[in-house]
Amino acid sequence: MKSILVRYGELTLKGNNRDIFIDKLNKNIKFKLKPFKSFFEYKKDRNSLELELLDENYIEPILKELKDVFGIYSLSIADRVEKDPKLIIKKVLEIAPTLSGHSFKVEVLRKDKSFPVRSDEFKREIATEILKSIPNITVDVKTPQKLVSVLIKNNYTYIFIDRIDGLKGLPVGTSGKGLSLISGGIDSPVASYLSLKRGMKVDYLHFMTPPHTTPEAVLKVFDLIKTTAKYNMRDFNFYVCDFSMLLKELMHMKDDSYRITIMRRVFLKIANKLADKIDAQAIITGDALGQVASQTIESMNVIGSVSERQIIRPLVTYDKEEIIKISEKIGAYEISILPFDDVCSIYVPDKPVIKPTLKKALEQENELMLDVMIDKTVNDSIKKYYLKDGEWVES
Pair 285, 181: CB distance under 8 Å? yes
H or E stretch covering 159: strand 157-161
Q: At 163, phi and psi to the nearest 5?
A: -135, 150
Q: Give residue 341's pLDDT.
A: 64
Angstrom distances, CA of residue 369 to CA of 185, 271, 273, 375: 29, 18, 17, 11
Please tell me the class of the 2-165 domain: alpha beta
Give the span between the Cα atoms of 270 and 290, in whole angstroms: 24
Pair 221, 323: CB distance under 8 Å? no
Pair 240, 383: CB distance under 8 Å? yes
Q: Give residue 394's pLDDT.
A: 96
Pair 236, 229: CB distance under 8 Å? yes
Burial class (CB in 10 A: 0-12, 13-18, 19+), 260: buried
Domain 177-394 has CATH 3.40.50.620: yes
What residue segments make up the domains of the chain, in order of their start? 2-165, 177-394
Peptide bond before 211: cis, by omega within 30 degrees of 0?
Answer: yes
SS (H, E, C) 20-66: HHHHHHHHHHHHHCHHHHHHEEEEECCCEEEEEECCHHHHHHHHHHH
Q: Taking each helix axis as running N to C, give the angle between helix 259-278 and helix 370-380, from 0 to 180 degrees, rounded to the nearest 10.
A: 40
| Tens-level pLDDT at each residue, the chain (395 residues) | 899 999 997 777 777 888 899 999 999 999 999 999 999 999 887 778 999 999 999 999 999 999 999 999 999 999 999 999 999 999 999 999 999 999 999 999 999 999 999 999 999 999 999 999 999 999 999 999 999 999 999 889 999 998 999 999 999 999 999 999 999 999 999 999 999 999 999 999 999 988 878 888 899 999 999 999 999 999 999 999 999 999 999 988 888 899 999 999 999 999 999 999 999 999 999 999 987 877 899 999 999 999 999 999 999 999 999 999 999 999 999 999 998 766 655 567 778 899 999 999 999 999 999 999 999 999 999 999 999 999 999 99
Q: Give residue 349's pLDDT.
A: 74
Give SS3 for 155.
Answer: coil
